[in-house]
């Protein structure tokens, strides 16, 4: 029997994560934070692969008191916001903090301990602290060529963002903390996640927390390791999905606007106007864009010709998919994605 009640719950929505869920859970089970302080809640959205069987096998092999408890629930709503809200309803009374996670990330053994220490330090000066996010990096596991190219794309100036894939290097306030540790009472104060956001639900949640007067922080000293996409098709579809839901977030929260994320769209509009007014002048932004892509590719020369060619190609897919998604978001309602 546990000697104390847990204060932290890590919530993991999953769907067909058989390739990564074991590594994900093992990284949480090996934490330096005492096992009695932490529980893991996994919510399966209807996996058709071996995800649930893998989780049950891990559950059965856990020794009492030596590891955090793993609780597995079905998620009838299937999607991430439904899973997170369902978890809020299932939490023991002792839980004061909730950690966002997913089934294809891993963390180092001191991740939870460092999050706890950083939270306690920041809370002294920011009593309304409601969320603390971290930095997202590529997985250290062996990567295929495309996954490596996409990882390099996300770390380039043209491929990063201010959200989940931000390459920030200073601790400070933010509107969009990634894989955040949240205060439970703050989540309950704003009624949890908006289930109409099948993607970008965390951006919406963060904006509502800020609007309610809470403070959000992020720190580069604590990281999660995420598996990247392993095909250019899924990369393009993901880019479109992020653009689509960015529009939905902006329509609800205009303060979420970040100009750099609109640069491809603005460039497309400007080039289209130039084609009508002065076709020769339209070549100037096109050649400038091509030149920047070329220089970006050459900056990855040490990783081989696959990156010299692949990173610019990946950037084109990212910018095109995200821009088309922004436009698409104005035209139709959201639906389930097919990029995984």
Q: Does any domain span residue 235? A: no
CB 44 within 8 A of CB 51: yes
**Separation of alpha carbons 86 and 285, rounded Å:** 48
Q: Does any domain span residue 280? A: no
Residue 295 CB burial class (10 angstroms; 0-12, 13-18, ≥19): exposed
CB 185 within 8 A of CB 196: no
Q: Does any domain span residue 246? A: no
Q: Does any domain span residue 308? A: no
If you average pLDDT over every residue of the chain, what do you get?
A: 92
Give 91's DSSP letter.
-
Residues 6+ apart with CB under 8 A from 124: none
Q: Does any domain span residue 236? A: no
CATH code, 188? 3.90.550.10
State pTM to two decimals.
0.89
Q: Does any domain span residue 297? A: no
Strand partners, 42: 12, 72
Residue 144: pLDDT band (50, 70, 90) is confident
| Domain count within the chain | 1
Q: Does any domain span residue 169? A: yes
For 192-209, the pLDDT digits (tens) are 999 999 989 999 999 999
Q: Does any domain span residue 254? A: no
Q: Domain range for residue 116?
A: 8-230
For 128-140, the pLDDT digits (tens) are 999 999 999 887 6
Residue linked to tokens 């009624």? 191
How far, in Å, are 134, 219, 234 from residue 120 at the CA level?
15, 13, 39
For 236-279, the pLDDT digits (tens) are 999 999 999 999 999 999 988 888 888 999 999 999 999 999 98
Residue 206 CB burial class (10 angstroms; 0-12, 13-18, ≥19): buried
For 8-33, the pLDDT digits (tens) are 999 999 999 999 999 999 999 999 99
Residues 6+ apart with CB under 8 A from 267: 285, 289
CB 175 within 8 A of CB 255: yes
For residue 2, the model assigns a pLDDT of 46
**Separation of alpha carbons 320 and 243, rounded Å:** 10
Q: CA torsion angle for 238, 241, 242, 246 (degrees, to 10)?
A: 180
Percent of the chain with pLDDT over 70: 95
């Amino acid at each position: 029997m546990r000697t104390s009640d847990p204060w932290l719950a890590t919530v993991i929505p999953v769907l067909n994560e058989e390739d990564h869920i074991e590594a994900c859970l093992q990284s949480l089970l090996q934490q330096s934070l005492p096992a009695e302080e932490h529980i893991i809640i996994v919510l399966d959205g209807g996996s058709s692969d071996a995800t649930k069987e893998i989780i049950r096998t891990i559950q059965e092999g856990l020794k009492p008191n030596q590891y955090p408890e793993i609780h597995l629930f079905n998620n009838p709503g299937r999607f991430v916001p439904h899973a997170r809200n369902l978890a809020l309803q299932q939490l023991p009374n002792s839980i004061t903090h909730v950690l966002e996670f997913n089934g294809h990330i891993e963390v180092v053994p001191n991740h939870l301990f460092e999050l706890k220490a950083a939270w306690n330090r920041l809370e002294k000066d920011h009593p309304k602290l409601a969320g603390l996010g971290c930095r997202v990096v590529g997985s250290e596991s062996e990567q295929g060529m495309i996954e490596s190219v996409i990882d390099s794309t996300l770390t380039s100036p043209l491929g990063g963002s201010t959200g989940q894939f931000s390459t920030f290097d200073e601790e400070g306030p933010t509107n969009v903390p990634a894989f955040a540790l949240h205060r439970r009472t703050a989540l309950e104060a704003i009624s949890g996640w908006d289930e109409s956001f099948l993607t970008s639900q965390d951006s919406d949640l963060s904006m509502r927390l800020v609007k309610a007067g809470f403070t959000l922080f992020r720190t580069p000293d604590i990281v999660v390791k995420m598996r990247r996409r392993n095909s250019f098709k899924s990369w393009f579809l993901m880019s479109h999905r992020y653009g689509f839901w960015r529009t939905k977030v902006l329509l609800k929260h205009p303060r979420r606007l970040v100009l750099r994320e609109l640069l491809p769209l603005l460039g497309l509009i400007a080039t289209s106007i130039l084609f009508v007014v002065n076709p020769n002048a339209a070549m100037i932004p096109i050649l400038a864009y091509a030149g920047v892509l070329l220089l970006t590719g050459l900056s990855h020369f040490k990783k081989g010709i696959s990156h010299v060619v692949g990173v610019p190609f990946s950037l084109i897919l990212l910018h095109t998919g995200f821009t088309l998604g922004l436009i698409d978001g104005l035209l139709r309602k959201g639906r389930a994605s097919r990029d995984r």
